[in-house]
Amino acid sequence: MSMSRLRTVLLAAFVGGAAHAAPDAQDILAASDAIRNPDHSFGLTTTLIEYRDGKQAATSTLAIYSRVEGRGGQFQSLIRFVSPPRDADKLLLKSNNDLWFYDPSNKASIRISPQQRLLGQAANGDIATVNLARDYRATLELQEDIQDGERQTRRCNKLSLAATSADVTYHRIEMWIDASSNRPVKARFYTESGRLLKTAYYRRYQSQLGTERPTEMVIIDGLDPNWTTVMRFSDHAKREVPAAWLQRDYLPRFRPE
């Protein structure tokens, strides 16, 4: 075989191998983040509904204001409690991975844990807007067919996410992302000891802020499958979120628009 022919064969083999190379896990995760979250500041309403043994046990409504810090950066979020009335106008502030709770009745802000439960299976850290690709290192485990939250079979990339810092909500996450669309489908969240905390399904995709995004997340307790929490996302709107709103010292002065 001539040298030029050999080079052609080697080049074809390289191109063919590259075409069939496994997708990059971190890129998949980042693409999934972009489906969950827009790339600009926005507001929305999140409704939490807790169910025990199929019966509604509690509900809460929150107004979310999220501001992206730089292109592809992490979000800073201010969360205002709307209902129930006893919680109205209480605030949660997520600044980097710090989380602060403000109660207007005593005008005090205290630092709280993102792992602490807010309602049912929803933790404080679940409410704030998060780019997982910024806080976790992703590894592609395999491709497999699973049932999504609407009992449809989806071919998914299964990723294993390892936390890159100690102050994130979960130590480890398993995440199934649709192989054809990069839509998040399912996730499992674990403690540092390896115990399953909960399983979540992302579902009811609708066109919001320029793309199809999940408008509902169903969270199932890791030990009791009859204890579930539904998070519903509505009223998506592109909006300016002033940087002043995202300062701890500003919380006593915040007034909803």
Domain extent listing, the chain: 25-252
Q: What is the pLDDT of residue 9?
A: 38
pTM summary value: 0.86
Beta strands at 184-190 and 196-208: parallel, antiparallel or unpaired: antiparallel
pLDDT at residue 212 tops 60: yes
- Per-residue pLDDT band for 39 (boundaries 50, 70, 90) equals confident
Q: Is residue 239 helix, strand or coil?
A: coil
Question: What number is the average pLDDT over the span 12-33?
Answer: 71
145 vs 112, which has greater pLDDT?
145
As beta bridge partners, residue 201 has: 186, 218
Going through 53-181 in order, the beta strands assigned E by DSSP cover 55-68, 75-83, 91-95, 98-103, 108-111, 117-119, 122-123, 136-147, 153-163, 172-178
- The span from the CA of 73 to the CA of 101, in Å, is 23
Helix, strand, coil percentages, rounded to 5, for the chain? 20, 50, 30
> At 122, which amino acid appears?
A
159 vs 165, which has greater pLDDT?
159
**pLDDT-above-70 percentage for the chain:** 89
- Per-residue pLDDT band for 68 (boundaries 50, 70, 90) equals confident
22 vs 107, which has greater pLDDT?
107
Q: What is the pLDDT of residue 12?
A: 43
pLDDT at residue 20 tops 70: no
H runs (alpha helix) in the chain: 3-19, 25-36, 124-127, 132-135
- Per-residue pLDDT band for 175 (boundaries 50, 70, 90) equals very high
Q: Give the fold, CATH level 3, of 25-252.
A: outer membrane lipoprotein receptor (LolB), chain A (2.50.20)
Place of tokens 């600044």: 95
Question: What number is the average pLDDT over the span 180-200?
Answer: 95
Task: Let me know: does 85 contact 128? Beta carbons within 8 Å.
Answer: no
Q: What is the pLDDT of residue 21?
A: 64
